[in-house]
Amino acid sequence: MTVIERPAVLPERFARWFESRGWTPRAHQLELLGKARAGRSVLLIAPTGGGKTLAGFLPSLVELSGAAESRQDLPTTRSPLLPPPLQGRSPSEASREGTDRPDAADTPPQRSPSRGEGAGSASVSIEQTPRRLLSTGRGVRREGGLHTLYISPLKALAVDIARNLETPLAEMELPIRIETRTGDTPPSKRARQRRDPPHILLTTPEQIALLLASADAPYLFGSLRRVVLDELHALVTSKRGDLLSLDLARLFRLAPCLTSIGLSATVAEPDELCRFMVPQQQGEARADLVIAQGGAAPDVSILDTREPLPWSSHSARYALGEIYQLVKAHRTTLIFVNTRSQAEGIFQDLWHLNDDNLTIALHHGSLDVAQRRRVEGAMASGRLRAVVCTSSLDLGVDWGDVDLVINVGAPKGASRLLQRIGRANHRMDEPSKGVLVPANRFEVLECRAALDAIAENAQDTPPLRLGALDVLAQHILGCACAGTFLADDLYAEVKTAAPYRGLTRRDFDAVVDFVATGGYALRAYDRFARIRQGKDGRWRIAHPGVAQRYRLNVGTIVEADMLKVRLVRSRASKLIPRGGRLLGQVEEYFVETMVPGDTFVFAGEVLKYEALVEEEVYVSRSASTDPKVPAYEGGKFPLSTYLAERVRGILSDPQQWRGLPAQVREWLEIQKWRSRLPGRRELLVETFPRADKHYLVCYPFEGRLAHQTLGMLLTRRLERARLRPLGFVANEYALAVWGLGDVAMCLQRGEPSLAALFDEDMLGDDLDAWLAESAMMKRTFRNCAIIAGLIERRFPGQEKSRRQLTISTDLVYDVLRSHQPDHVLLRAARADAATGLLDVRRLGEMLSRIKGRIVHKPLDHVSPLAVPVMLEIGREAVYGEAAESLLAEAADELAREAMQ
């Protein structure tokens, strides 16, 4: 039978509100509302400023307002899916929720099922309850429980959405309570939310995992009608998406009437997201798709600089004066950078130029939450002229009257760039304005490729991933913390999650066995036994402490050890004043590089390192002119495959050079004359002598991670050929290897041949041999072990250091490699190596592409195209004027040699 959906009509109250604002509901908003009313799950793809957020919440607001109106004169009763009021508990029942560190009241008591009631049942007797008034103070009675979950990849986005919803709720006098729940929510509020949930809860994937791992999850979520997944494309491409998919599978089981709404502005493959949003039963279930039409094309350009473009740099310091002039010429500017270190450096440099005393702020994830909220509030009220920020403000956040976005450095992906540019003129019918500031010459090509992709409305969001086994292990333990389970039932539930649709029963049982014993090689150690199977066939946690430790370690983001930074007065004695204003957190390894008296930039200030006391770094203000900038692990975006192919296309087609700056065109023309340029599907290999060494430089354009892995494998092969390699260096575009042997002469003789040197078989024995001893592979395994819960980072009252973790995981890694090479975690680590730190999969695709298309160009000295990667040799990760000067001197010397 065909179901015909009627066009949605807004209720009178909502129609009046739209009219009072001079708005007309957009077609995609009404279409989504109609499908949601028909009980359908829906994915909405709409350009920035197209009203996605309002569209996502409209069905819930309409339903809740209608339900409230129909209850005005009815006696209030408790929903059968709500638990009785939670009473106080003994200290032994207290636990903490992951990094949120909640108080004891945050974990409910265990509840024994009554006779005839199965484990996990959501039925309780109906009872009369006192009338509960809304916190809005409007005196409207409330019944029912949690109606809608809003899940965001960013805490800042959840907070911003809550703030933006206050206006329509107040103006329409809707008796609806909306609250946020993130890692920054006070423990007392989190505890109250479990006893008295709001109608709509705005939260993050980690919080959902924590709530589902509690005995009261059936009661908290049993009344749930809708889940809204904002910026869905950003949620599904990592292990956070794997965890979210498993949590969605559980929510769909706990709440039979649940439907989902997905919101996204940038999607390459909508069908994959549509599958992610609904349970995968027999066949391929999909959510309905609604695509908004129209929207103004963005106005994006590359900075037309008058300054010399650097050969190799990541800071864009050459353009600071021009960036400052752009800020002066606009009302509010967002300046996006790709790393927290860049954010600190650019912010400091702009302040030195700020003769007009413009209000410029800094925002990134390591700053104290209070400072981030102050910046967000000032942005929303229009009190700032510019904010230097990282991906912490990438998504969906609507910060007032932003009329310009500046992206410093290469975008790394067309979809990511479009997302950032969309922060400006956050309105569908007006063009978003953006300026790209490439940090070096190769980045000019990448920026040009991104602009061409935007003009064609091309997207390069990554494809949907296969579910990771370490994440599945964490989820299984969470299910045991919530109550007992049968393996057959849980396996059937897990397979309804799209990333795990192809999970075999053998792999599932292996993961359950890992959670229960640690695996064959570790089953003799009781510490690894976290669940056990009873005579009834049900699995349950082995000890109450297991649940407590789970809540302390839940999540898939493995961060480096962080130390709190507190600002105190400069000390004249050895006594360190305790307390001080909290500025944020820096990574421990960075602090280990400093001694008292060293200066560094953090939270927008130049600080002097005074002392490290326990887990806190005490600092004072300094007037130093040459401070360090904290370095952070991770945070670097890989060059997308799509943009890499476009860059190769630009290089191989001189007709496309006309839109490039004159100095970049000259660079490419001299390269064409001195050597050659790689074809779109070719690999150009240059060899040349320099300073008593011999160099091999190739240009795969596959990103730094794949190039580093290629460098490690090439050096092994060159060593076997007795060419005595000394080292290699890689950037996003090229790889340089140097040694003592004359590699050019050997290649010309065919000893080895180019085909053999770059053969795909290097991903066989060579890769396995290198991975066995690779520090990066051990680091990948360490991350998997932490996510899977084999190695617990946090214990009640204490936390393991990086050094302790490294020792623990390295020992386990060696044991498993020797005695159980097919262990679940080793398999998970190898899968991560394919797309993570090593990017083996992308390297394999490149080796296949270039087969039979490798071109060797022997030269007598360095080529113009090789200059950027040659400048990476021996370079330290230092930011500042002195480092830039040294780099400029080295660049001048190499450029004279290459361009002569």
Backbone angles phi, psi at 618, to 5 degrees: -100, 130
Q: Which residues contact 21 (CB under 8 A, 6 or more apart)?
A: none
The two structure tokens encoding residue 206 = 């980690």
Return the minimum-mean-pLDDT range out of 49-53, 184-188, 256-260, 284-288. 49-53
Residues 20 and 160 in one domain: yes
User: What DSSP state is assigned to residue 141?
Assistant: B
703: number of Cβ within 10 Å = 25
For every residue of 87-117, which 3-state class applies, written as one string? CCCCHHHCCCCHHHCCCHHHCCCCCCCCCCC
Q: Which of 291, 313, 345 is the last residue of a domain?
A: 291
Domain annotation covers residue 634: no
Q: How far apart are the first and last CA of the chain?
A: 76
Give the CA dihedral 77, 81, 87, 93, nearest 10 degrees: 180
pLDDT value of position 884: 53
User: Is 424's pLDDT higher than 80?
Assistant: no
- Taking residues 795-806, what's their average pLDDT? 61
Backbone angles phi, psi at 710, to 5 degrees: -60, -40
pTM: 0.80
Return the minimum-mean-pLDDT range out of 284-298, 480-494, 655-669. 284-298
pLDDT value of position 98: 33
Q: Helix, strand, or coil here: 237?
A: coil
With a pLDDT cut of 90, the percent of the chain lying above it is: 43
Residues 243 and 179 in one domain: yes
289 contacts 270 by C-beta, under 8 angstroms? yes
pLDDT value of position 48: 73
Check residues 246 and 376 and name the one with the higher pLDDT: 246
pLDDT value of position 893: 78
The two structure tokens encoding residue 841 = 């999969």
CA–CA separation, 599 and 609 (whole Å):
6
Residues 451 and 384 in one domain: yes
CA–CA separation, 147 and 737 (whole Å):
59
- Taking residues 318-344, what's their average pLDDT? 92
Residue with tokens 């109106």: 69
User: Is 76's pLDDT higher than 90?
Assistant: no
E strand or H helix that includes residue 261: strand 259-264
Domain annotation covers residue 462: no
pLDDT value of position 89: 33
* DSSP codes, 396-439: S---SS--EEEEES--S-HHHHHHHHTTSS--TTS--EEEEE-S
Residue 184, judged by CB atoms within 10 A of its CB (0-12, 13-18, 19+), counts as middle
| pLDDT interval class at 734 (50, 70, 90) | very high
Alpha carbon 79 to its chain's center: 38
pLDDT value of position 127: 27
pLDDT value of position 775: 74
Of the candidates 94, 109, 178, 93, which has an alpha carbon nearest to the alpha carbon of residue 142?
178
pLDDT value of position 765: 75
- Taking residues 655-664, what's their average pLDDT? 91
Domain annotation covers residue 407: yes
Residues 18 and 162 in one domain: yes
User: Is 86's pLDDT higher than 90?
Assistant: no
pLDDT value of position 111: 38
CA–CA separation, 333 and 272 (whole Å):
34
Check residues 640 and 400 and name the one with the higher pLDDT: 640
pLDDT value of position 812: 87
pLDDT value of position 771: 74
Q: Which of 291, 326, 345 is the last residue of a domain?
A: 291
CA–CA separation, 232 and 270 (whole Å):
10
User: Is 187's pLDDT higher than 80?
Assistant: yes
Residue 826 to residues 462, 524, 816, 832, 896: CA-CA distances in angstroms? Answer: 24, 19, 8, 10, 49
326 contacts 435 by C-beta, under 8 angstroms? yes
Domain annotation covers residue 897: no
Of the candidates 753, 733, 754, 763, which has an alpha carbon nearest to the alpha carbon of residue 844?
763
Check residues 348 and 632 and name the one with the higher pLDDT: 348
Mean pLDDT of the residues in the chain: 82
pLDDT in tens, 579-631: 788 898 887 767 877 888 888 888 888 899 888 887 788 999 988 877 877 76
pLDDT value of position 80: 34
CA–CA separation, 370 and 166 (whole Å):
21
Give the β-pairing of 854-858 and 683-690: parallel
pLDDT value of position 22: 87
Residues 768 and 812 in one domain: no
- Taking residues 331-341, what's their average pLDDT? 90
Domain annotation covers residue 627: no
Residues 246 and 274 in one domain: yes
| pLDDT interval class at 285 (50, 70, 90) | confident
Domain annotation covers residue 3: no
Residues 155 and 259 in one domain: yes
Residue with tokens 């270190």: 341
Give the total residue count for the chain.
Answer: 900
Residues 617 and 603 in one domain: yes
pLDDT in tens, 139-161: 333 456 899 999 988 777 788 88
Return the minimum-mean-pLDDT range out of 300-309, 472-481, 767-776. 767-776
The two structure tokens encoding residue 363 = 């925002």
Return the minimum-mean-pLDDT range out of 25-34, 534-543, 549-558. 549-558
CA–CA separation, 805 and 560 (whole Å):
11
- Rg over CA atoms, the chain: 29
CB crowding 192-225: b at 16 or more within 10 Å, else e: bbbbebbbbbbbbbbbbbbbbbbbbbbbbbbbbb
pLDDT in tens, 2-53: 444 555 788 999 999 999 988 889 999 999 999 999 999 999 998 777 788 8
Backbone angles phi, psi at 22, to 5 degrees: 75, 25
Domain that holds residue 591: 562-621
The two structure tokens encoding residue 286 = 């999909």
pLDDT in tens, 102-112: 333 344 444 33
Of the candidates 270, 205, 222, which has an alpha carbon nearest to the alpha carbon of residue 120?
222
552 contacts 102 by C-beta, under 8 angstroms? no
* DSSP codes, 605-635: EEEEEEEEETTEEEEEE---SS-B----SS-
pLDDT value of position 487: 96
Domain annotation covers residue 460: no
Domain annotation covers residue 750: yes
User: Is 306's pLDDT higher than 60?
Assistant: yes
741 contacts 723 by C-beta, under 8 angstroms? yes
Alpha carbon 410 to its chain's center: 18
| pLDDT interval class at 867 (50, 70, 90) | very high
Cis-peptide into 175, omega within 30 deg: no
The two structure tokens encoding residue 741 = 């042997």
- Taking residues 57-75, what's their average pLDDT? 75
CA–CA separation, 471 and 557 (whole Å):
11
* DSSP codes, 198-234: -SEEEE-HHHHHHHHTSTTHHHHHTT--EEEETTHHH
Residues 348 and 484 in one domain: no
User: Strands across the sheet with 605-613, in order?
Assistant: 581-587, 562-567, 616-621, 605-613, 599-602
Residues 165 and 46 in one domain: yes
Check residues 738 and 122 and name the one with the higher pLDDT: 738
Residues 728 and 863 in one domain: yes
pLDDT value of position 122: 32
113 contacts 119 by C-beta, under 8 angstroms? yes
pLDDT value of position 571: 64
pLDDT value of position 210: 94
Backbone angles phi, psi at 500, to 5 degrees: -110, 15
Number of domains making up the chain? 5
CATH number of 263's domain: 3.40.50.300
CA–CA separation, 539 and 406 (whole Å):
53
User: Is 776's pLDDT higher than 60?
Assistant: yes
829 contacts 777 by C-beta, under 8 angstroms? yes
Q: Which of 621, 643, 658 is the last residue of a domain?
A: 621
131: number of Cβ within 10 Å = 10
Of the candidates 493, 501, 483, 516, which has an alpha carbon nearest to the alpha carbon of residue 788?
516
pLDDT value of position 575: 61
pLDDT in tens, 496-524: 999 999 999 999 999 999 999 998 888 88
Residues 361 and 479 in one domain: no
